[in-house]
């Protein structure tokens, strides 16, 4: 529906590849993947992707259960600890914009930008 209404970029906050497939089929709509790279599902219109890497967290929590040190806690991690990253930025993004995006990612990771 969004594409039919003229949207030129489609984002989602699910692990579905449907937005990438729809954008690829439309041919003139960009996407931004969620949770994994998703380039294989719509390589041409994909700008980049948010990539979740929960493996270290799950391993640490599982070890804590196994060694008896587990306690219930909230988890709010992001770019700094490496739980969230950004995938390769498409060559369709101008180099100056790509450089600015990567600099901002680094500033968020270091805590200089919040």
CA–CA separation, 15 vs 21, rounded Å? 13
- Report the pLDDT value the prediction gives residue 11, as an integer from 0 to 100: 85
CA–CA separation, 63 vs 94, rounded Å? 44
pLDDT tens digits for range 13-54: 877 888 888 888 998 899 988 888 887 777 677 899 999 999
CA–CA separation, 64 vs 68, rounded Å? 6
How would residue 101 be classed by pLDDT, with cut points 50, 70 and 90? very high
Structural domains in the chain, CATH included, are 9-110 (3.40.50.2300)
| pTM, full prediction | 0.78
């Amino acid at each position: 529906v969004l594409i039919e209404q003229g949207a030129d970029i489609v984002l989602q906050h699910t692990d579905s590849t449907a937005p990438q497939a729809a954008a690829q089929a439309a041919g003139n709509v960009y996407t931004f993947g969620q949770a994994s790279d998703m380039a294989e599902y719509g390589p041409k219109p994909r700008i980049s992707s948010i990539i979740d890497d929960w493996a270290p967290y799950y391993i640490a929590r599982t070890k804590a259960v196994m060694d008896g040190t587990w306690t219930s806690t909230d988890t709010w991690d992001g770019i700094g600890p490496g739980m969230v990253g950004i995938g390769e930025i498409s060559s369709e993004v101008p180099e100056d914009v790509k450089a600015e995006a990567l600099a901002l990612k680094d500033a968020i990771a270091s805590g200089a930008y919040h």
